[in-house]
Structure 1
Amino acid sequence: MIKFFRHIRQHLIMKNKTSKYVKYAIGEIILVVIGILIALQINTWNEQRKANMLEAEYYCRLFEDLVQDQEQVETLIKQTEDRLKASNQSLRLLQKDNPNKIEVATQIDLSTKAIFIDFKPNNSAFEDLKSGANLSIIKDKNVIKALNAYYNTLESTKSIIKINGQNAVDIAFAHNDSFENGKTASSILYGKFKDGLDADLIANIKIDTTATLSETMQFRFYNESLRNAAANLRQLELYNILKEHTLKMTELLEQKCDTKYD
Structure 2
Amino acid sequence: MIKFFRKIRQKLLSENRFSKYLLYAIGEIILVVIGILIALQINNWNENRKSRDQEQKYYCLLLENVEQDKEQVLQLKALNEERKNGSYEAILEIQKEKPKAKVFGKSWINALQRVTTTFRPNNATYSDIKSSGNLSIIQDKAITEALNTYYTNVAGYAETIIINSDFTVDRIKSLDSWFEAGVHHVNIFSRYNNDVFTDAIREKIKEDLPEYISEDYKPILYDAILITGTDNGRRHQLLELIESEVDQIKQLLQDKCNNND
TM-score interval, smaller chain: 0.7 to 0.9
- Compute the displacement of 1:219 (Å): 3.1
Aligned residue in 2 for 1:144:
144
Check whether the contact 1:188–1:202 (CA below 8 A) recurs between aligned residues.
no
Q: What SS is found at the alignment partner of 1:215? A: coil
Aligned residue in 2 for 1:245:
245
Distance, in Å, in 1 between the alignment partners of 2:155 and 2:144 is 17
1:255 has 2:259 as partner? no
- Compute the displacement of 1:259 (Å): 2.3
- Compute the displacement of 1:166 (Å): 1.1
Aligned residue in 2 for 1:115:
115
**Residue type at the aligned position of 2:8:** I
Distance, in Å, in 2 between the alignment partners of 1:12 and 1:52 is 49
Aligned residue in 1 for 2:195:
198
**What number of residue pairs does the alignment pair up?**
258
Check whether the contact 2:89–2:107 (CA below 8 A) recurs between aligned residues.
yes
Distance, in Å, in 2 between the alignment partners of 1:132 and 1:54 is 13
Aligned residue in 1 for 2:89:
89
Judged with a 3 Å threshold, the aligned counterparts in structure 2 of structure 1 residues 243 and 227 are, in CA distance, closer, same or farther, namely same
Judged with a 3 Å threshold, the aligned counterparts in structure 2 of structure 1 residues 203 and 123 are, in CA distance, closer, same or farther, namely farther
Check whether the contact 1:112–1:168 (CA below 8 A) recurs between aligned residues.
no
**Residue type at the aligned position of 1:256:** K
Judged with a 3 Å threshold, the aligned counterparts in structure 2 of structure 1 residues 35 and 154 are, in CA distance, closer, same or farther, namely same
Aligned residue in 2 for 1:129:
129
RMSD: 2.3
Q: What SS is found at the alignment partner of 1:216? A: coil
The residue correspondences of 1:8-27 to structure 2 (distance < 5 A) are 8-27=8-27
**Residue type at the aligned position of 1:145:** E
More displaced, 14-23 or 171-180? 14-23
Unaligned runs of 5+ in 2: none
More displaced, 211-220 or 182-191? 211-220
Q: TM-score, normalised by structure 1?
A: 0.88
Q: TM-score, normalised by structure 2?
A: 0.88
Check whether the contact 1:146–1:249 (CA below 8 A) recurs between aligned residues.
yes
Unaligned runs of 5+ in 1: none
1:153 has 2:153 as partner? yes
Paired-residue identity, %:
38
**Residue type at the aligned position of 1:9:** R
